[in-house]
A and B are shown apart, each in its own frame.
With several copies, the nearest count.
Chain A
Amino acid sequence: MILNRKMGRKNKIYSTVDAVVADIPDGATIMFGGFGGAGFPNNLIQGLARQGARNLKVISNNCGTGDGELGILFKNHQVTRVVAAFPGPGAKHFQEQLDAGKIELELVPQGILCERMRAYGAGIPAFYSPVGVGTEVARGKEERLIRGKRYILEDALGADCAFIKAYRADRLGNLIYRKAARNFNPIMATAAKLTIVEVDEIVEVGELDPEAIVTPSIFVDRIVQAKGLRFV
């Protein structure tokens, strides 16, 4: 997987969506932010659909709504593996290909999906979890009694690339989000080798309140300003 900042820490801003996703290779593992219609990097997803990378491994809460959000990538047969918490009743294209045996699915409890990504970003390779003990989720996982309670071992979850959506970025890559559009985005930013953010607005360095920055610039590699695109 050859993916890097290209322009370094000082110049992260790309002028077009197509340019910012141009070098995503076939076979890449990509995290996608977004939940409940909010905070999806829809422009980046559309760009990836145009770019055409195949055999993608997707990590995302859900799997699109019709052609919207991640739907287009499934429609285009660009995805072969999915880690998700709630593929969703509207994930038509995903479901068709899952049923046809063309996609492998790993279903993960939502909080554990978050926690596994956070662990990766935090340099923690694995942790014990109370979630899913005694359920299908525990299948194949080590179980262990700790202070008299049952837990299962969960692995950190990283990616080659994170596609995220924020509200505003400054030119260094500090990010703020809007309301519940924050969701998975700040976690994914920490858990990928390369984080690409689509934002409503790019502001000058110093315009974001240092007390209120949610994702510090260290976690952001590429920024593109893109007109809002929402599938409700």
Chain B
Amino acid sequence: MSKLRLTREQIAQRAALELPDGAIVNLGWGIPNLIAAYVPPEITVYFHSENGILGMGPRAAAGEEDFDLVDAMKIPVTVIPGAAFFSQVDAHVMTRGGHLDICILGGLQVSEKGDLANWRVPGAKGAGGIGGAMDISVGAQRLIVAMEHNAKDGSPKIVNTCTYPLTAVQCVNTIITDLAVIDVTPEGLLLREIAPGIAPEEVQKYTEPKLRYAGKVPEMRLSKL
């Protein structure tokens, strides 16, 4: 594995740059959950939580938790002025109905066609749980997956065909990893940016499907804290 891979925090920093000013955003489990801290200060984004919050703010300070005000990960949070509370059915009118501008989820596998598998590792113990990921994946105007490029055993997580249970088919627009930013296009995977010091050929080596790129691929930018 390359020693030049980005950290999870750096993946989150890069992903934060994908957020347009004013966007309504849902962040999933894992690396996506780190992104809120890296939103560029010059823009405002509005966080949606599928348990019924629009306008979620930072996590609650220790000692100031209100356990009726938690995010989808059960963490006590705050709200910003202009927030609204609603039921979970209305929260998913927003997800499934295509009202969220951008959603960023974690991933176990993403296929060449943009299929996403992110809810169960085959053979893992426990019932697993779908949660809101299927509704979010299907409805997002733009779906980004933020994940490590390779599994712990080094196997590619960007694959020709997902072998893990699917979350949704042909739903992913962009993959942001510790090696690259890759867009899913009708012509295949497009290598848009690469981590500093990495060569496109190296990214290809860690990726099962063929990556398209031409000439010099720009370096991944990172958001400042």
- A→B interface (CB under 8 Å): 8-10, 35-39, 61-62, 84-89, 91, 94-95, 98, 105, 107-112, 114-115, 117-118, 120-124, 129-137, 170-172, 174, 177-187, 190, 205-206, 208, 210-211, 213-214, 216-219, 230, 232
Contacts and interface: CB of A to CB of B under 8 A. Distances in A.
B138 A180 contact: no
B87 A218 contact: no
A130 B96 contact: yes
Contacts of A84: 129
Given A137-B134, A187-B89, A206-B81, A98 B127 contact: yes
A111 B95 contact: yes
Interface stretch (B2-10, B41-49, B148-156, B208-216): B41-49
A216 B132 contact: no
Contacts of B44: 10
Contacts of A230: 67
Interface of B: 21-24, 44, 46, 48-55, 66-74, 79, 81-101, 115, 126-135, 138-139, 165-169
Contacts of A214: 87
A95 B127 CA distance: 7
B183 to A, nearest CB: 21
A221 to B, nearest CB: 11
A85 to B, nearest CB: 6
A109 B21 contact: no
Contacts of A181: 68
Given A85-B132, A186-B87, A123 B68 contact: no
B99 A219 contact: yes
Given A179-B68, A180-B69, 15 more contacts: A10-B21, A36-B51, A87-B127, A111-B96, A114-B88, A114-B89, A123-B93, A123-B138, A131-B96, A174-B82, A180-B52, A182-B86, A217-B54, A217-B84, A232-B67
B82 A122 contact: no
A174 B169 contact: no
A168 to B, nearest CB: 13
A43 B140 CA distance: 34
A218 B67 contact: no
Contacts of A183: 51-52, 87-88
B171 to A, nearest CB: 10
A178 to B, nearest CB: 5
Contact of B79 (A37, A62, A131, A210): A210
B44 to A, nearest CB: 6
A190 B90 CA distance: 10
A216 B87 contact: no
Given A36-B73, A205-B82, A218-B54, A178 B68 contact: yes
Q: 6 smallest A-B Cβ distances: which pairs?
A: A111-B92, A111-B135, A206-B81, A86-B129, A9-B22, A123-B96
A145 to B, nearest CB: 14
B135 A109 contact: yes
Q: Which of B52, B53, B72, B95 has the most CB of A within 10 A?
A: B52
